[in-house]
Amino acid sequence: MKNIFKKLTLNYYLSFIIILIISASFLFLKYEINYNLSNSLPQKLFLIKKGKLPDRYDYVLFSKDNKFYNYNFVKQVIGIEFDEIKQIDRNLWINTKVNPFVIAAGYAKELSLNNEKLNIINVQRIPRGHYYIYAPHKDSLDSRYQEIGLINKDNIIGTAYPISFMDIFIFIITLIILTIFIRFILKNFIISRFLIILFLFLTYFSQNVFAKDLGVHGQIYDIAEEDLKQYIHNKLTSLEESGELKRMQKEQQQQVIKRAKRPKAVTGLVNATKNREFIYDASVIAKNNIYDHSGNIIVQKGTRVNPLDYKKFSQTLLFIDGDNPLHIDWSMNQKQDSNTLIILTKGNVIDLMSKHQTRLYFDQNGYLTKTFGIKALPAKVFQDKDVIKVREETLI
């Protein structure tokens, strides 16, 4: 009985020491485990490395004062410093300088679940040391609202790493296998338990890596090629001294100015030899059901939708060849107000604007003429009742 009591006492103290060591190790390595209470993220269990700032797409634990909740949040970082926040209606996007260039940043609701007004975040460039945090749930409280807004690095507690149930299962199975193995070798369950827990802790939770100098294996040779940075510097210096660099810069400027004045002409268009008028159908057929932010179907699949039923095409478009004086005179006579736009398919747009003191446009790559099916110039595009008409007119 006395030996049993001693063994239990030894087990008690040894277990206490093990727990104390693990707790101290967690504090030393700045790790903690958090459970996600909300439904905004599918993950529930997170390992937090306190003090570590996140990268894009990392999960982050942060604290931010707001009128809805007073506990810490776990969200995903999708916007970092110098990204731009864009908005169409109440849909938000993040414009980045890397691939992918655009990241969906959520739809901002007008009311909370308690029918309190929600204020959409101001469109802006994300300043240094700030993050746009997000969760895919439609009711997530995140940076899309002013009530949370951008997160300052001072609000961040640490980077969060999701722990799946499979991770926990593998951890337990590994613990059992190593327990049996070390107990068989050491014939001492108490010592084996201590070694197992310590080993698993160091391997599973530590993110430190170590490197060892293994010495030199084989002959090492100096790099014979000239340093690339030095080569570029020498080349630019040589071009500058010879005047070639200045000539190249001037040539490039002239090309840019030339292209701005006279963009690439639209090909395939001819002068109209007869009047032709036809209807441009702006209708589209929905390929899939279209839903609003509440999940209600607003347009069913297969429905033909005519934009003119919802918004008037208030502008009149005049397409001309800017190198043809007859076309220019025709467009100036046709132009009635600021809603009449003159669009060139060829010609010097800068000189013509200066000469006639009116704003002109250019059909870059022929996108508009192809869209409306224009084959001959000059042409006029306008709304007549509930349709858009295209009229090609002869001037001869």
> 169-220 pLDDT, tens per residue?
777 777 667 666 655 555 555 555 555 555 555 444 443 333 334 444 444 4
How many beta carbons lie within 10 A of that of residue 135, not counting itself?
24
Residue 365 is which amino acid?
Answer: N
Which residues partner with 112 through β-bridges? none
Question: What SS3 state is found at 305?
Answer: strand
> Residue 248 and residue 228: Cα distance in Å, rounded?
22
The conformational region for residue 302 under phi > 0 = left, psi -120 to 50 = alpha, else beta, is: left
> Residue 11 and residue 152: Cα distance in Å, rounded?
47
Q: Which residue has the tokens 């009311």?
A: 111
The angle formed by the CA atoms of residues 199, 202 and 205, to the nearest 5 degrees, is 130
The angle formed by the CA atoms of residues 276, 364 and 123, to the nearest 5 degrees, is 120
Give the model's pLDDT for residue 226: 53
> Residue 81 and residue 124: Cα distance in Å, rounded?
11
Contact 299, 310 (CB under 8 A): no
Question: What SS3 state is found at 245?
Answer: helix
CATH class of 270-392: alpha beta
Residue 341 is which amino acid?
Answer: L
Strands (E), 281-368: 284-285, 290-291, 297-299, 304-305, 316-321, 340-346, 360-362
Give the model's pLDDT for residue 185: 54
Q: Which residue in 96, 8, 111 sits closest to 55, CA to CA?
A: 96
pTM score, whole prediction: 0.42
Contact 389, 382 (CB under 8 A): yes
Residues 6 or more apart in contact with residue 157 via CB below 8 angstroms: 48, 50, 61, 62, 63, 72
Interval 261-318: pLDDT, tens:
889 999 999 999 999 999 998 888 888 888 887 788 888 888 988 888 888 888 899 9
Give the model's pLDDT for residue 213: 41
Model confidence at 29: pLDDT above 70: no
Interval 108-126: pLDDT, tens:
999 888 888 999 998 789 9
How many beta carbons lie within 10 A of that of residue 163, not counting itself?
17
Q: Does domain 36-163 have CATH number 3.30.450?
A: no
The angle formed by the CA atoms of residues 379, 367 and 337, to the nearest 5 degrees, is 45
Give the model's pLDDT for residue 55: 92
> What's the average model confidence in pLDDT over 132-160?
91
**To the nearest whole percent, how much of the chain has pLDDT over 90?**
31
> What's the average model confidence in pLDDT over 221-240?
63
> What's the average model confidence in pLDDT over 144-169?
88
Query: In sequence order, which ranges of the chain are alpha helices (DSSP H)?
Result: 2-29, 165-186, 189-205, 228-242, 244-261, 325-334, 349-356, 367-372
Give the confidence band of 50 by pLDDT, cuts at 50, 70, 90.
confident
Dig out the tokens for 250 from the structure: 């001037």
Model confidence at 151: pLDDT above 60: yes
